[in-house]
A = this chain, B = another copy of it.
Amino acid sequence: MFKHDKNLLEMVRVERPNPQYAVMLQEQLGGPQGELKAGLQYVSQSFRIKDPEIRDLFLDIAAEEFSHMEMVATAVNLLNGHDIDMQGTQPSGNIEANVLTGLAPYLTNGSGVPFTAAYVNVTGDLAADILSNIAAEQRAKVVYEYLHRQINDQHVRQMIDFLLNREEAHNTLFRQAFQKIQDSGSNRDWGVDQDARLYFDLSPGTNHFHVNSPQAPSFQNPDYTHQ
């Protein structure tokens, strides 16, 4: 069951309306590395997970991502300002906000492409799902870094800082979950066939990698590996 709490996970403010930046921030509302995508990916994966701890972890993070979505949408709403206006000096505000949604945030990326579940990866295999989530959190962090660089509004920067750090926390948690299951599912029986040891040099050049004894992806406990 899902419940909604009237409080935002973290307060959201903006110094002043900035419709141009609102367009860009929409990316994290309805884009491929956005909060809605993250939440839906983890919820969808959870539907068939049997391990109760990992299922719980996925749903904790999913609920948090939906709460991030609410924060991002709140910021977009404030940045969109008060008045519809595409006639004025505004260089390239969000067209849909001005003609379709009356400045309400909208489930699209920064270019206005509607959110699609084609962004969501679900495999029914824990190793593959958790690696997908680690990669997804890393990509989300990168997008927040890009967004951070392009705004001076201190309140917006603070929100982005918070969200960026939370993605790091999720990344850590998914990595710890991966350690727990890393000898199971698609990670077993890895590299037994010699085809898994070949290198095909189809773009001949300077490559110096070799396929040494292929092994499944695995992480060591970060608390220990860096001692």
Q: Measuring CB to CB, which residues of chain A are less than 8 angstroms from any residue of chain B?
A: 1-9, 20-21, 23-24, 27, 30-33, 36, 40, 43-45, 47-48, 52-53, 56-57, 59-60, 62-64, 66-67, 70, 73-74, 76-77, 84-87, 91-92, 95-96, 98-125, 127-128, 131-132, 134-136, 138-139, 141-143, 145-147, 149-152, 161-162, 165-166, 168-169, 171-173, 175-177, 185-186, 190-191, 193-209, 211-220, 222-223, 225-226
Which residues does chain B contribute within 8 Å of A217, judged by CB atoms? Answer: 134, 138, 171, 175, 219
Question: Is A117 a contact of B30 with CB atoms below 8 Å?
Answer: yes
19 residue pairs bridging A and B, Cβ less than 8 Å apart: A2-B5, A4-B63, A5-B203, A6-B56, A57-B207, A64-B200, A95-B111, A102-B124, A104-B123, A109-B112, A110-B112, A112-B112, A113-B113, A121-B139, A123-B142, A165-B193, A168-B191, A169-B198, A172-B191
Docked CA distance A172–B214 (Å): 6
Residues of B within 8 A of A9 (CB): 1, 200
Nearest-neighbor residue (CB-CB) of A72 within chain B = B47
Tell me, rounded to whole Å, the shortest Cβ–Cβ distance linking A149 to chain B: 6
Q: Who on chain B is nearest to A220 by CB?
A: B220
Are B6 and A3 in contact (CB-based, < 8 A)?
A: no
A172 CA to B218 CA in the complex, in Å? 11
Considering residues A135, A215, A218, which has the most beta carbons from chain B within 10 angstroms of its beta carbon? Answer: A135
**Least Cβ–Cβ distance between A129 and chain B, in angstroms:** 9
Alpha-carbon gap, A122 to B99, bound state (A): 11
Known A104-B123, A121-B139; 10 more pairs at CB < 8 Å: A6-B59, A32-B118, A33-B121, A33-B123, A59-B203, A60-B207, A98-B150, A99-B150, A168-B190, A172-B196
